[in-house]
């Protein structure tokens, strides 16, 4: 029976999931209350979806086997049925119920995600600036800045204030929670929280040009005391960031991890103005960074 | 097509008599539906952007009341004369039809002249399409309407020539009718431009 | 601009493409000249206004574009098979996924569907042609030259590289300096105008040209879906027209719509794009539903179950499709209230869609199912599309979407709906109506090979992608690093893609094989069909029906066969038939569009103006044209009817 063969093909990949490596499956391995809320919502929906799949696939299989043309039923004439009101009401009503059952928790979660998961702990704020093709993290209260990695205290809600210099990016740390866009001249806010110390991979989920695939960063969650210690260490040992250095960082290209004992917010907040350049001045067509980009956008060279 | 194309119905106005004409007129109505969607999108764009003036002038600082009023007067009158043209067509008077079409066309040309003047004026004040998002959307919205009017003028000229060559036929009558639909439509769009762009711009 | 920038250089892939293009062109010219076919090509094809030939040309282009888009897909899959591959560099990968997406949707799925509707709709409603045959030819040629313009970007000037969504500011002058995105804006504009005209044309055709007795509620389901699709086109495509025009203004004339400075707003582009984009996916899926309905009912040998509910649900889906676009950017931070509202409207689409699924299932219940290739595609659609559909509902849940958005979960979802929906439908329709188009049947054995290879390959390729997405792999990555654990599933996906590729090759071979050895269809009704297209000869004479058929029920031809033993024409009923004349103007006007477009892409304004002048000239000539077509005399009809039916 052919249908059985390809049902098997459909089921096979499920084995990938259950055959291990759940910890690799970041979204299904939530490491904080935000991701967990989304995980619960996902699992809630998966239940209904599997139910729908089972119903449809069963009917499908049964009908295919029973009603295929065979030599025995050569004389069979299918009935001329136009429909069946009762059945049609049933299969309109059930999806409506399912949609309702999904909509209610969805709306709840969508609103809940805009607020810190806990009231008890005061959140910390980190400004995130996406640039071609790196992530810049500024801690306004601690007055330090990091590039391509970020430390956060575990158990504390973190308000990430997202913006971008240039193309739109999306800030995503799947184990800690869903993503949000970072856009030029705008500020969006994403609240995440880690349960316990650990290292979580983050990346840009929105295509932003040539080297977008390399826009990865690490989120290091630490205990409160370790985090404090790290902040102090940075304050004492890290170099200062100045406008010149900052402009250099913003140039299209890849950079490694960096740490500074002050933030660029002192002279520019990209969320407040459209900016192509570090200095926020309107762009000139013939300047250097543009040339660099021209090159990267052509074949030829 | 087929026999249907020859279903000639004497009881209908000339422009509706052949099946082909009926198809064309319905098709044109649907086309106007698409045009509504097009202008709706342009209006939406304008309304999203009209306060985003960047370093350029705002609507209140820029708009020239006088030119706009003259434009409005010209176009509204032309819509009326276009209606008179159809009226003459229904009465079977080709000379009246052509005369009113010519008046319509001249009024339309007047409208375009004033609009171009208005645009040139803005550009001289440094308010170009490239200045700000507001101006980009202003020029594209109003310019699209102006381009439509210009096309309408060219189209009417072609139809007048055909009327002179061929007189009243179901085909020429249908063309006159369709161009009149088009013209009234542009009039309606202008009323929206007048309120949503100029009045709103001068109030806010 | 330097010549070295004009022609894309420096890559073996590109040189190979250059050589292939030149060789193909030389080959075509040679064959046409050698067999003295130029005149034939011009008279029979380039100037035709016959809906059936136009449909065939659409489908040929669609299959070619499926090839091009498929090669792009295989290149992407090759690059992603293993971590840190050096097969394609970042820039190339970016261009390739952009052209893949754009071509597959606009130059493959759309023309395939439009081609089938050109061939089938007039036949199904018992009409001689569409309402505006001349306009129909113009629509086709605009699509053709739009597609051509888009495709030459590969070798001239450089391809677009900002994704098929072309989000700003990335696609603006600030970050895309080449001409690639100009191509995107202009080529899509040209073919989009053609699509809009098709929408108007078929809406009028269906509303006004149905055979006597065919009330709206007696229309075949495919015709119904096309009717609604036309409405979607008419309201959605003008939005694309405006969006692309604004993009062109920004890129070519330096306006500030979507820029980062002077008040520009990149989010406006995303909104405009998806206000068109979401209806667009329904523009390709609704007709697919129509095709499945026809095929399922024919091969279950049973009337379509719940006809009225089917119609109702298409209308419902069409309406909802205009109020869901925000689900493409829940993550933009529009606020929980907005996201919730659009979540709910999106999930609501599942309700009418579910109704349709059950109606198909109950059409086959109590039927007598014949497993032809067309039927296999249609049956496979049901479970596969349900997988795409339920994951679509999951994506619709805003709070959860933050975890799926822009990941391979999304890639898997939309390929499950686009391939299991549209591509399966195109293949089903192709096999089903092939005898109507060409007079012979596609070989069933080879057809089944294609089916199993492609269908299995499809699942092997895309099912793992759901899990890649959950593992954190985002779309549009040209490479990934080794330690992430993504490699095994990527290898599997590539294997699946190769299977699909092999399936496509078998299909191409089948087309060749069947043309030579395929079974001829002498009856005009090889599948025991139910609708009026099967009442004509295969292929139909160019006037379709010698006399207009009279319709008594939904399955018009089925009833005729039951009651009268078929569609019989008495020779004394014949009257002269009026037909539209051919015209070369749609062709050369579209060339003018191409020239103008090319000028615009490169900012060679003189060239653009020359092209525009020819367009205007074409319009003026059309206005003065006084050609009302011609009549086929009764004797001629008799002769042609006998010739067409001599096998029967
Ligand atoms: C023939 C087999 C196909 C394969 C193996 C395939 C593979 C892929 C892959 C791997 C991507 C993701 C690229 C990336 O994000 O890095 C992609 C994107 C895409 N595919 Fe396909 N695809 C196939 C057919 C289709 C079809 C038939 C359609 C539409 C009808 C389609 C529409 C798209 C679109 C719209 C995108 C998004 C492009 C973008 O991100 O801008 N694909 N495809
Ligand atoms: Cu959508
Ligand atoms: Cu979707």
pLDDT for res C8 = 74
By Cβ distance, the residue of B23, B52, B155 closest to C204 is: B23
What digits encode the pLDDT tens for the residues A211-254?
Answer: 999 999 999 999 999 999 999 999 999 999 999 999 999 999 99
Alpha carbon of residue C546 to chain centroid: 31
Residue nearest to ligand 1 atom 38, measured at CA: C101
Cross-chain residue pair C623–B162, CB shorter than 8 Å? yes
Q: Is residue A2 over pLDDT 60? A: no
Structure tokens at C47: 């100037």
Q: How far is C291 from chain B (nearest CA, A)?
A: 25
Ligand 1 pocket list (CB less than 6 A): C 70, 73, 76-77, 97-98, 100-101, 104-105, 109, 163-165, 411, 415, 418-419, 422-423, 461, 475-476, 497, 500
pLDDT for res A274 = 53
Structure tokens at A197: 């110390």
Q: CA-CA distance, B111 to A126, in Å (whole number)?
A: 56
Beta-carbon contacts of C429 under 8 Å, excluding residues fewer than 6 positions away, are C116, C120, C291, C295, C374
Structure tokens at A150: 């970020």
Mean pLDDT for C352-376 is 95
Q: CA-CA distance, C462 to C468, in Å (whole number)?
A: 10
Poorest-pLDDT segment among B59-68, B71-80, C394-403: B59-68
For B32, the closest chain C residue by CA position comes to C234
Residue nearest to ligand 1 atom 34, measured at CA: C101
DSSP letter for C646, please.
T
Chains touching C by CB (3 or more pairs below 8 Å) = A, B
Q: Is residue A77 over pLDDT 90? A: no
Q: CA-CA distance, C413 to C401, in Å (whole number)?
A: 12
The torsion defined by the Cα of C102, C108, C114 and C115, in degrees rounded to 10, comes to 160
Q: Which pairing describes strands A149-153 and C577-579: parallel, antiparallel, or unpaired?
A: unpaired
Alpha carbon of residue A88 to chain centroid: 39
Mean pLDDT for C204-232 is 96
pLDDT for res A32 = 94
Mean pLDDT for C560-580 is 88
- Residue B55 burial by Cβ neighbours in a 10 Å radius (0-12, 13-18, 19+): exposed
Q: Is residue A9 over pLDDT 80? A: no
Query: Which atom of ligand 1 lies closest to the CA of C109?
Result: 30
Q: CA-CA distance, C626 to B166, in Å (whole number)?
A: 10
Q: Which long-range contacts (CB under 8 A, 24 or more apart) does B196-203 make?
A: B196/B43, B196/B46, B196/B47, B197/B46, B197/B50, B197/B59, B197/B138, B197/B141, B197/B142, B198/B63, B198/B65, B198/B68, B200/B50, B200/B59, B201/B50, B201/B58, B201/B59, B201/B60, B201/B62, B201/B63, B202/B59, B202/B60, B202/B63, B202/B65
Query: Which atom of ligand 1 lies closest to the CA of C80?
Result: 10
Chains touching A by CB (3 or more pairs below 8 Å) = C
Listed residue (A106, A93, A101) closest to A48, CA to CA = A101
Q: How far is A51 from chain C (nearest CA, A)?
A: 10
pLDDT for res C306 = 92
pLDDT for res C493 = 96
Q: CA-CA distance, A5 to A12, in Å (whole number)?
A: 11
Ordered domains of chain B (ranges, CATH): 64-204 (1.20.120.80)
User: How far is the CA of C143 from the CAs of B75, C242, C243, in angstroms?
Assistant: 36, 18, 18
Q: CA-CA distance, C206 to C118, in Å (whole number)?
A: 12
Question: DSSP readout, C323-356?
Answer: S-GGGGGGGG---HHHHHHHHHHHHHTHHHHHHH
Mean pLDDT in chain C?
93
Q: CA-CA distance, C135 to C202, in Å (whole number)?
A: 11
CB-based contact, C78 to chain A, within 8 Å: no
Q: How far is B106 from chain C (nearest CA, A)?
A: 20
Pick from C192, C204, C334, C619 the residue to mutate for testing the B interface (most B CBs within 10 Å): C204
Q: Is residue C205 over pLDDT 90? A: yes
pLDDT for res A13 = 54
Say how many Å lie between the first and final Cα of chain C, rounded.
Answer: 63
Mean pLDDT for C398-417 is 96
Mean pLDDT for B21-46 is 96
Q: CA-CA distance, C127 to C220, in Å (whole number)?
A: 14
Q: Is residue C51 over pLDDT 90? A: yes
Q: CA-CA distance, A282 to A224, in Å (whole number)?
A: 42
Mean pLDDT for B99-107 is 96
Alpha carbon of residue B1 to chain centroid: 31
Q: Is residue C576 over pLDDT 50? A: yes
What digits encode the pLDDT tens for the residues C125-155?
Answer: 999 999 999 999 999 999 999 999 999 998 8
pLDDT for res B67 = 87
Q: Is residue A54 over pLDDT 60? A: yes
Q: Which of C62, C77, C408, C415 to mutate to test the pocket of ligand 1 (most atoms within 8 A of CB)?
A: C415
Q: Is residue A10 over pLDDT 70? A: no
Q: Is residue A281 over pLDDT 60? A: no
Task: Specify whether the CB–CB gap between C103 and C72 falls below 8 A.
Answer: yes
pLDDT for res C81 = 95
Q: CA-CA distance, C228 to C319, in Å (whole number)?
A: 10
Mean pLDDT for C535-556 is 91
Structure tokens at C495: 């294997």
| pLDDT band of C402, cuts 50, 70, 90 | very high
Q: CA-CA distance, B92 to A180, in Å (whole number)?
A: 67
Centre of ligand 1 to C-alpha C105, Å, is 9
Centre of ligand 1 to C-alpha C199, Å, is 26
User: How far is the CA of C333 from the CAs of A187, C161, C341, in angstroms?
Assistant: 9, 26, 14
Q: How far is A92 from chain C (nearest CA, A)?
A: 6
To the nearest whole percent, how much of chain C has pLDDT over 90? 81
Beta-carbon contacts of B199 under 8 Å, excluding residues fewer than 6 positions away, are none
Mean pLDDT for A279-288 is 37
By Cβ distance, the residue of A57, A110, A208 closest to C398 is: A110
Q: Is residue C290 over pLDDT 80? A: yes
pLDDT for res A75 = 85
Q: CA-CA distance, B168 to C392, in Å (whole number)?
A: 58
Q: CA-CA distance, C155 to C21, in Å (whole number)?
A: 10
Listed residue (A171, A41, A30, A195) closest to A121, CA to CA = A195
Q: Where is pLDDT greater, at C174 or A20?
A: C174
pLDDT for res C3 = 63
pLDDT for res A283 = 39
CB-based contact, A63 to chain C, within 8 Å: yes
- Residue A120 backbone dihedrals phi, psi, to 5 degrees: -70, -35
What digits encode the pLDDT tens for the residues B133-151?
Answer: 999 999 999 999 999 999 9
Mean pLDDT for B13-37 is 91
User: How far is the CA of A41 from the CAs of A44, A46, B150, C139, in angstroms?
Assistant: 5, 9, 57, 47
| pLDDT band of A21, cuts 50, 70, 90 | low
Q: How far is C349 from chain A (nearest CA, A)?
A: 10
Q: CA-CA distance, C529 to C433, in Å (whole number)?
A: 11
Cross-chain residue pair B22–C268, CB shorter than 8 Å? no
What digits encode the pLDDT tens for the residues C62-98?
Answer: 999 999 999 999 999 999 999 999 898 899 999 999 9
pLDDT for res A267 = 86
Alpha carbon of residue C320 to chain centroid: 21
Q: Is residue C436 over pLDDT 70? A: yes
Q: How many CB pairs under 8 A join A and C?
A: 321
Question: DSSP readout, chain A?
Answer: -HHHHHHHHHHHHHHHHHTS-TTT-GGGS--SHHHHHHHHHHHHHHHHHHHHHHHHHHHHHHHHHHTB--GGGTT---------HHHHHHHHHHHHHHHHHHHHHHHHHHHHTTS-S-SSS--EEEEEEEETTEEEEEETTTTEEEESEEEEETTS-EEEEEEESSS-EEEEETTTEEEEEE-BT--EEEEE--SSSEEEEEEE-S--STTGGG-EEEEEEE-HHHHHHHHHHHHHHSPPP-HHHHHHHHSSS----EEESS-GGGT--TTTS--SSTT-PPP-TTSHHHHHHHHHT-S--
Query: Which atom of ligand 1 lies closest to the CA of C165?
Result: 41
pLDDT for res A289 = 38
What digits encode the pLDDT tens for the residues C611-622?
Answer: 999 999 999 999
b/e burial code for range C442-469 (CB count within 10 A of at least 16 → b) = bbbebbbbbbbbbbbbbbbbbbbbbbbb
By Cβ distance, the residue of B5, B45, B155 closest to C268 is: B45
Q: Where is pLDDT greater, at B81 or A26?
A: B81
What digits encode the pLDDT tens for the residues C470-491?
Answer: 999 999 999 999 988 899 999 9
pLDDT for res A296 = 30
Structure tokens at C105: 């949707």
Helix (H) or strand (E) holding C620: helix C605-624
The torsion defined by the Cα of C129, C130, C131 and C136, in degrees rounded to 10, comes to -120
Poorest-pLDDT segment among A33-37, A291-295, B104-108, C25-29: A291-295
Residue with tokens 């039916």: C645
Cα angle B180, B185, B188 (rounded to 5 degrees) comes to: 130
Angle between helix C585-601 and C180-208 (nearest 10): 150
Cross-chain residue pair B27–C624, CB shorter than 8 Å? no
Q: Where is pLDDT greater, at B12 or B60?
A: B60
Q: Is residue C580 over pLDDT 50? A: yes
Residue nearest to ligand 1 atom 20, measured at CA: C101
Q: CA-CA distance, B81 to B86, in Å (whole number)?
A: 9
């Amino acid at each position: 029976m052919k249908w059985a063969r390809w049902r098997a093909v459909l089921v096979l990949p499920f084995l990938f999931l259950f055959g291990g490596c759940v910890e690799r499956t970041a979204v299904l391995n939530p490491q904080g209350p935000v991701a967990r809320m989304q995980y619960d919502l996902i699992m809630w929906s998966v239940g209904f979806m599997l139910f729908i799949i089972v119903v449809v696939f069963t009917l499908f299989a049964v009908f295919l086997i029973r009603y295929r043309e065979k030599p025995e039923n050569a004389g069979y004439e299918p009935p001329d049925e136009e429909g069946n009101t009762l059945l049609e009401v049933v299969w309109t009503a059930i999806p409506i119920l399912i949609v309702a059952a999904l909509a209610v928790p969805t709306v709840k979660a969508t609103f809940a995600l805009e607020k810190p998961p806990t009231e008890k702990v005061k959140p910390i704020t980190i400004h995130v600036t996406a640039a071609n093709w790196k992530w810049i993290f500024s801690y306004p209260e601690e007055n330090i800045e990091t590039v391509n990695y970020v430390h956060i205290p575990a158990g504390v809600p973190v308000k990430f204030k997202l913006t971008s210099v240039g193309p739109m990016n999306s800030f995503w740390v799947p184990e800690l929670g869903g993503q949000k866009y970072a856009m030029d001249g705008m500020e969006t806010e994403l609240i995440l929280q880690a349960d316990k110390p650990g290292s979580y991979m983050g990346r840009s989920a929105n295509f932003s040009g040539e080297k977008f695939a390399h826009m990865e960063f690490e989120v290091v969650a630490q205990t409160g005391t370790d985090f404090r210690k790290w902040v102090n260490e940075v304050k004492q040992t890290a170099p200062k960031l100045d406008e010149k250095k900052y402009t250099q960082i913003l140039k299209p290209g890849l950079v490694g991890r960096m740490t500074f004992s002050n933030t660029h917010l002192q002279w520019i907040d990209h969320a407040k103005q459209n900016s192509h350049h570090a200095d926020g001045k309107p762009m000139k067509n013939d300047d250097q960074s543009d040339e660099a980009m021209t090159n990267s956008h052509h074949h030829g060279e | 097509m087929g026999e249907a194309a020859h279903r000639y119905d004497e009881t209908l106005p000339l422009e509706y008599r052949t099946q082909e004409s009926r198809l064309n007129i319905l098709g044109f109505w649907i086309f106007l539906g698409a045009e509504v969607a097009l202008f709706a999108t342009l209006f939406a764009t304008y309304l999203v952007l009209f306060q985003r003036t960047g370093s350029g002038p705002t609507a209140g600082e820029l708009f020239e009341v006088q030119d706009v009023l003259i434009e409005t007067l010209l176009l509204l009158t032309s819509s009326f004369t276009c209606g008179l043209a159809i009226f003459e067509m229904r009465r079977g008077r080709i000379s009246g039809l052509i005369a009113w079409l010519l008046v319509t066309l001249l009024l339309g040309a007047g409208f375009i002249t004033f609009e171009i003047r208005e645009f040139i004026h803005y550009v001289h004040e440094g308010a170009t399409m490239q200045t700000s998002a507001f101006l980009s959307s202003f020029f594209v919205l109003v310019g699209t309407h102006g381009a439509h009017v210009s096309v309408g003028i060219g189209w009417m000229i072609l139809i007048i020539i055909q009327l002179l060559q061929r007189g009243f036929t179901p085909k020429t009558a249908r063309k006159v009718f369709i161009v009149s639909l088009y013209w009234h439509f542009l009039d309606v769009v202008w009323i929206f431009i007048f309120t949503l762009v100029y009045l709103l711009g001068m109030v806010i | 601009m330097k010549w070295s920038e004009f022609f894309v250089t420096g890559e073996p892939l590109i040189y190979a493409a250059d050589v292939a293009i030149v060789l193909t062109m030389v080959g075509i010219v040679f064959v046409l000249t050698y067999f003295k076919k130029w005149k034939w090509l011009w008279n029979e094809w380039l100037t035709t206004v016959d809906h059936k030939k136009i449909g065939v040309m659409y489908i040929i282009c669609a299959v070619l574009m499926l090839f091009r888009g498929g090669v792009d897909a295989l290149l992407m899959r090759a690059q992603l098979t293993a971590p840190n591959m050096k097969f394609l560099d970042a820039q190339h990968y970016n261009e390739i996924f952009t052209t893949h997406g754009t071509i597959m949707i606009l130059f493959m799925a759309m023309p395939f569907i439009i081609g089938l509707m050109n061939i089938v709709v007039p036949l199904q409603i018992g009409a001689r042609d569409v309402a505006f045959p001349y306009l129909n030819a113009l629509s086709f040629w605009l699509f053709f030259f739009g597609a051509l313009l888009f495709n030459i970007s590969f070798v001239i000037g450089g391809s677009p590289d900002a994704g098929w969504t072309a989000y700003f500011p990335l696609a603006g002058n600030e970050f895309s300096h080449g001409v690639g995105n100009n191509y995107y804006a202009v080529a899509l504009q040209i073919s989009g105008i053609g699509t809009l005209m098709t929408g108007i044309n078929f809406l009028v055709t269906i509303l006004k040209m149905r055979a006597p007795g065919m009330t709206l509620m007696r229309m075949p389901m495919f015709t119904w879906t096309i009717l609604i699709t036309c409405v979607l086109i008419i309201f959605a495509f003008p939005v694309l027209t405006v969006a692309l025009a604004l993009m062109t203004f920004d890129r070519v004339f330096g306006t500030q719509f979507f820029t980062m400075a002077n008040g520009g707003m990149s989010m406006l582009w995303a909104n405009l794009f998806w206000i068109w984009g979401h209806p667009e996916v329904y523009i390709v899926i609704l007709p697919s539903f129509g095709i499945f309905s026809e095929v399922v009912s024919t091969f279950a040998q049973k009337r379509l179950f719940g006809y009225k509910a089917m119609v109702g649900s298409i209308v419902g889906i069409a309406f909802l499709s205009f109020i869901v676009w925000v689900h493409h950017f829940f993550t933009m931070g529009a606020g929980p209230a907005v996201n919730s509202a659009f979540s709910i409207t999106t999930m609501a689409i599942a309700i009418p869609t579910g109704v349709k699924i059950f109606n198909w299932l109950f059409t086959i219940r109590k039927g007598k199912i014949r497993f032809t290739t067309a039927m296999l595609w249609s049956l496979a659609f049901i479970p596969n599309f349900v997988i795409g559909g339920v994951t679509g509902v999951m994506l619709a849940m805003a709070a959860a979407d933050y975890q799926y958005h822009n990941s391979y979960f999304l890639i898997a979802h939309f390929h499950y709906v686009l391939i299991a929906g549209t591509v399966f439908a195109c293949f089903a329709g192709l096999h089903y109506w092939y005898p109507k188009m060409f007079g012979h049947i596609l070989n069933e054995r080879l057809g089944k090979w294609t089916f199993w290879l492609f269908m299995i390959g499809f699942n092997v390729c895309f099912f793992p992608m759901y899990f890649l997405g959950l593992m954190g792999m985002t779309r549009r990555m040209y490479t990934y690093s080794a330690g992430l654990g993504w490699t095994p599933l990527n290898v599997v996906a590539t294997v699946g893609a190769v299977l699909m590729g092999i399936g496509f090759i078998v299909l191409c071979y089948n087309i060749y094989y069947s043309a030579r050895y395929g079974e001829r269809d002498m009856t005009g009704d090889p599948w025991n069909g139910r609708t009026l297209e099967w009442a004509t000869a295969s292929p139909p004479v160019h006037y379709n029906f010698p006399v207009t058929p009279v319709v008594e029920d939904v399955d018009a031809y089925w009833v005729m066969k039951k009651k009268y033993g078929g569609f019989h024409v008495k020779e004394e009923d014949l009257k002269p038939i009026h037909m539209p004349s051919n015209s070369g103007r749609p062709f050369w006007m579209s060339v003018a569009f191409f020239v103008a477009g090319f000028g615009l892409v490169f900012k060679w304004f003189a060239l653009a103006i020359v092209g525009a002048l020819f367009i205007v000239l074409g319009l003026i000539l059309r206005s003065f044209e006084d050609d009302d077509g011609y009549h086929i005399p009764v004797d001629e009809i008799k002769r042609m009817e006998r010739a067409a039916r001599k096998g029967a």
